[in-house]
Structure 1
Amino acid sequence: MGDVVRAPWGGYLLTGYDVCDQVLRGRNWLAPDFAWQERQSDTDRWDAIATQEMTKTLSRLNAPDHTCQRRSLGNLFDRSTIQRLTPHVERHVDRLLDGLAEGLRRGEADFVGLVGDRLPISTIGSWLGIPPEDHPAILEITHNQVHAQELLPTKRQLALSAEATVRLRAYFTGLVGRRRATPGDDVLTGWIRTWDALEPDRATADEILYRLTMFVTIASLETTATLLSTMVWLLSREPGQWAWLAEHPEHVDAAVDEVLRYDPPIHVNTRVAADDTVLAGVPIAKDSMVHVLYGAANHDPRRNADPALFDILRRGDHLTFGGGVHYCLGAALARLEARTLLAGLLRRFPTLRPAAPPGYASRMVFRRVTSLKVTV
């Protein structure tokens, strides 16, 4: 139907790799921030509590606010940080795979509940100093909160998101307060020092700190958990492929990249036109929404030949981590978790295979695997 397709609700669906890349990187394509929302007629959609709260986070900010907050974080997961985190991630993987082994001794086990959901919260939780006993609650709240970021959320989904947003705010505001009262040698304490220097009003600084901490946490959980479970499903559903990779672990990174291309954890991202423009020959009016379809872009045959074939040696291109100023902050961390987990699984469970197809949440934007039964 073309690279730019009119959507029934008035926006545009972007399907081609190049046009999606152009929008993600282009400075004249903006996140739908408060200024844009105030010009819309659908006030119920944009006045929802969860939507309002997420619009204050990095993913919905434009320059100069986005620039200031992003710089305050620095290069979150640079090479030295990843090197420091690697032994911690390895320990989390070993611990969780012990639990998976115990479950498999009983015949079959749910990979999502035992490993997929738990590795990201273990990693980001220990990095930020979130107590392990709080991890299950954070996971539950996050699963409900992301409904507000769906393309066309229902009233029920918005209500679930509203309740989750209130709980997230209470939790992370408390976390910032406790860390301010008892500083440590950790990331959050460093952010507190940075924003105390940037913002003379402590209440404003704490509000920004709460949003940064909350956003980094939930952005790390939902997407990485889906990546990990999708990775196991795609690689283990063909026994010969899993066995071959176990014998050739040097291709683990390539396998992770093909999973990211083939079935990205986020399928849709939205931008708005800063001015009247023309995109791939289609006139787009200022303030119009365009929806970047990551899965479609990654399967564009002009960029990746035979895109429906899952090929771990492809070394193809994908836009799964976005592009431009909003490129995913946690891309390097997600790769670290995925390759560490995959290497551990191949080493300890060379005959792992799915006992049933995965179950999925009823979502369009944030994919979520809810269950994946595996056996050996």
Structure 2
Amino acid sequence: MGDLVPAPWGGYLVTGFDACNEVLRGRNWLVPDFAWQERQTGTERWHAVATQEMSRTLSRLNAPEHTRQRHSLGNLFDRRTLQDMTPHVEADVARLLDRLAERIRTDGEADLSELVSEQLPISTVGRWLDIAPEDHPHILDITHDQVHAQELLPTRSQLAVSEAATLHLRRYFTDLVRERRENPGDDVVSGWIRTWDALDSDREATDRVVYELTMFATIASLETTATLLSSMVWSLLRSPGAWAGLRERPEDIDGAIEEALRYDPPIRLNSRVAGEDTELAGVFVPKDTMVHVMYGAANHDPRRNPDPHVFDIHRKRSHLAFGGGAHYCLGAGLAKLEARALLGQLLRRFPTLRAVSPPEYAPRMVFHRVTSLRVAA
């Protein structure tokens, strides 16, 4: 239908790889921040509590505030940090796979998504932020509800569910930041407080920024990584000979992860607005027009990836699953670490793993959440 397809609700769907890449990296393409929202008609969605809360986080900020906050974080997951985290992630994977193996022995099959894929990211980010393990299930549940507000066309009922979850998250992470200020340690949140105290003398403003960073880091790292883990395993199991071949050549694991990201990205689309009158893929786009970057379509553009519907772990890596430009995913390295640890141990411990049925998905358009993937061995 073309690189730029008019959306029924206004704006455009961007489908071609090069056009999507241009939007993600172009300085004249902005995220829909508060300033843009105030210029819109029919503002019920934009005035919703959950939308307003997320609009204060890093993903909805433009320069200069986005630049300021991102620079304050530095490289969150540099090589040394990932090396330090690796033994803990490997131990978490081993623990979760013990549970998976036990359930398969008992029942003949088990839900990989429920027992492993969803649990590994919350264990990882929970340890990183020093969140009490007993709080992990609660955070996971309310995160699933909160992301409704980030969907493309959320209904009123979805916005209401998201609002309740957002208020829970606000209370939880505001209390967490307050506790770290009163009892600072060597954890990431305490470090952010010290960093922002040095940048801003207003402690209330500092605590608000740290709360927003902490909440965003948690939400952004859970559903996306969980879906990557399940989709990666499903794609390998449904490709003839792929599981056995990867066991024989574990050096191809990184290629399998990259291909999983290309083939079935955890986020299906992301929205940008034109910062000025511009042209995209030969089409005039007026200022403030919203476009939706279709990650899956871009990754399956045959001009960039020949035979795009073939799952090929030896393919030259070329995908936009982590976005691009100023808003490139901060947690890309961490997500790959978790995927690498899980796939490596699964291949060793479950040589005859098979899918009992295709995965089940939540009825969403943005966050492509896998809710169930039943496997046997």
TM-score (norm 1): 0.99
1: CA distance, partners of 2:91 / 2:56: 35
1:207 corresponds to which residue? Answer: 208
Q: Please report the RMSD computed on the Cα atoms of aligned residues, expressed in angstroms.
A: 0.8
Deviation of 1:237 after TM superposition, in Å, equals 2.4
1:88 corresponds to which residue? Answer: 88
1:333 corresponds to which residue? Answer: 334
1:210-256 CA distances to partner (integer Å, 9 max, x unpaired)? 00000001100010001001111111124621111111111000000
The 5-angstrom pairing of residues 1-376 of structure 1 reads 1-106=1-106, 107-238=108-239, 240-376=241-377
Deviation of 1:188 after TM superposition, in Å, equals 1.1
Paired letter, 1:100: L
Counting matched residue pairs gives 376
2: CA distance, partners of 1:270 / 1:88: 35
Residue pair 1:21, 1:323 contacting (<8 A) in 2 also: yes
2: CA distance, partners of 1:159 / 1:116: 27
Paired letter, 2:181: R
1:87-112 CA distances to partner (integer Å, 9 max, x unpaired)? 11111111111111111112000111
1: CA distance, partners of 2:289 / 2:221: 29
Percent identity, aligned pairs only, is 69
1: CA distance, partners of 2:363 / 2:119: 21
Residue pair 2:361, 2:369 contacting (<8 A) in 1 also: yes
Deviation of 1:316 after TM superposition, in Å, equals 3.1
SS of match in other structure, 2:317 = coil
Residue pair 1:239, 1:351 contacting (<8 A) in 2 also: no
2: CA distance, partners of 1:43 / 1:283: 25
SS of match in other structure, 1:251 = helix
2: CA distance, partners of 1:22 / 1:286: 16
Residue pair 2:267, 2:368 contacting (<8 A) in 1 also: yes
SS of match in other structure, 1:168 = helix
Deviation of 1:135 after TM superposition, in Å, equals 0.4
Residue pair 2:121, 2:221 contacting (<8 A) in 1 also: yes
2: CA distance, partners of 1:213 / 1:245: 37
2: CA distance, partners of 1:271 / 1:240: 40
2: CA distance, partners of 1:82 / 1:148: 31
Paired letter, 2:309: A
SS of match in other structure, 1:105 = helix
Deviation of 1:315 after TM superposition, in Å, equals 2.4
2: CA distance, partners of 1:130 / 1:315: 38
Deviation of 1:64 after TM superposition, in Å, equals 0.6
Deviation of 1:84 after TM superposition, in Å, equals 0.8
2: CA distance, partners of 1:71 / 1:42: 35
SS of match in other structure, 1:63 = coil
1:262-298 CA distances to partner (integer Å, 9 max, x unpaired)? 0000000000000111111101000000100000000
Paired letter, 1:94: A
Structure 1 stretch displaced more, 231-240 or 273-282: 231-240
Paired letter, 1:108: E
Deviation of 1:130 after TM superposition, in Å, equals 0.5
1:194-220 CA distances to partner (integer Å, 9 max, x unpaired)? 011111111111111100000001100
SS of match in other structure, 2:241 = helix
2: CA distance, partners of 1:228 / 1:180: 35
Deviation of 1:189 after TM superposition, in Å, equals 1.0
> CA 1:71–1:214 in 2, change beyond 3 Å: closer, same or farther?
same
2: CA distance, partners of 1:185 / 1:286: 45
Residue pair 1:239, 1:353 contacting (<8 A) in 2 also: no
1:338-363 CA distances to partner (integer Å, 9 max, x unpaired)? 01100010010011111111110000
2: CA distance, partners of 1:5 / 1:238: 32
Paired letter, 2:33: D
1:122-167 CA distances to partner (integer Å, 9 max, x unpaired)? 0000010001100000000100000100010111111110000000
Paired letter, 2:80: S
